[in-house]
Amino acid sequence: MLRRWAPIAFVALFAQPALAVDVTVTSAQVSRFKGVGLDQPVDKLIFRGGLTLQSQDDMFGGLSSATVTGPDQNIAFVSDRGQFVSGKLAYDQEDRLLSLIGVTMDPIQNSAGAPLPRQYARDAEGMDTVYRDGVPVAVRVSFENLTRVADFAITDSRPGGPAREISIPDWLSDLRTNKSLETICIAPPASPIAGSTLLLTEEALDENGNHRGHFLGQNDKGPVAYVNSPVVNPTDCAFLPNGDLLVLERGVALFSFVMNLRRVPAAEVRPGNLMAGELLLSAEGAEIDNMESIMVHVTPGGETRIFMGSDNNFNDWQRQLLLEFSLAE
């Protein structure tokens, strides 16, 4: 069930670079999922609510991945059209997601500090935060089509500035499709592979038919595989604070979107392994949309939540949907 639409005008909090754009967005709260209401169990999670977002700005949409970029619920998304979409999650007194405020769009830049020149280079699909001494200092972004990985500095809780490309294996950079490097996430301090970056492909399969991946790291690096499931492919990943890996899977069946969320124990997230996760949540049809982003964060009330969002592909008939869950245990 959707509550009434509530328009919210967003005002920039900081001085803006020349190409930044402030965006007016409207939001509606989502209070039911798979037949259950707020704070009710759904599969192996607890449903905590959500939002649908809309904007009259043609460049708003296509949100492919999300990550925390600063304190006080500051987050950013990457979009299919080469934009960083930054804002702040707002919560009500009951710790319910209420809106996304302070929304600003900044074009993703190349290493020379210019906006990416063509769509082939703009298709950003994955993003996670690089921390130094517990402070977010950059975002690490994965791109498909022109397959690559790059870091971008965080300033005033917004990513931007010139790209600093990160070396990846040749077999990955040689992939030149829109089903190549879909997911990226960085292991937290509690992980046995703390600080290592996990890359997972969407449809690049190994000789056993499983998804190819790779770890970038000083000590923990090398190939890894992720079990291939019928219908769905990995589309984003995030680590829980204890080092367990969450993998969001997305697909289409009978003209309807399908999604799974799986949890891989921390001990199994390592180079040379075939990772297989426990199914935490499954949904399809009108309950979801084209689910492409996952993020783990802590709400103002202190609860660790799993945040998932959809990519509307800039289509009027799709939704920009945000959903939140907590673990049942």
Which position has the higher pLDDT, 269 or 253?
Answer: 269
Of 227, 235, 225, 224, which is closest to residue 258 (Cα–Cα)? 235
- Residue-wise pLDDT for 157-176, tens only, equals 999 999 999 999 999 999 99
- The pLDDT value recorded for residue 16 is 37
Of 110, 23, 113, 89, which is closest to residue 59 (Cα–Cα)? 23
Domain ranges of the chain: 22-327
Q: Is the pLDDT of residue 63 over 70?
A: yes
93 CB-near residues (< 8 Å, 6+ apart): none
Distance, in Å, from the CA atom of 238 to the CA atom of 216, rounded to the nearest integer, reads 15
Using the Cα atoms of residue 155, residue 190, residue 65 and residue 52 in order, give the sign of their dihedral: negative
Distance, in Å, from the CA atom of 86 to the CA atom of 69, rounded to the nearest integer, reads 9
Tokens of 88: 């702040």
**Entry pTM:** 0.93
Of 87, 74, 121, 120, which is closest to residue 10 (Cα–Cα)? 87
22-327, which class in CATH? Answer: mainly beta
- The pLDDT value recorded for residue 254 is 83
Of 199, 165, 166, which is closest to residue 182 (Cα–Cα)? 199
- Residue-wise pLDDT for 242-252, tens only, equals 999 999 999 99
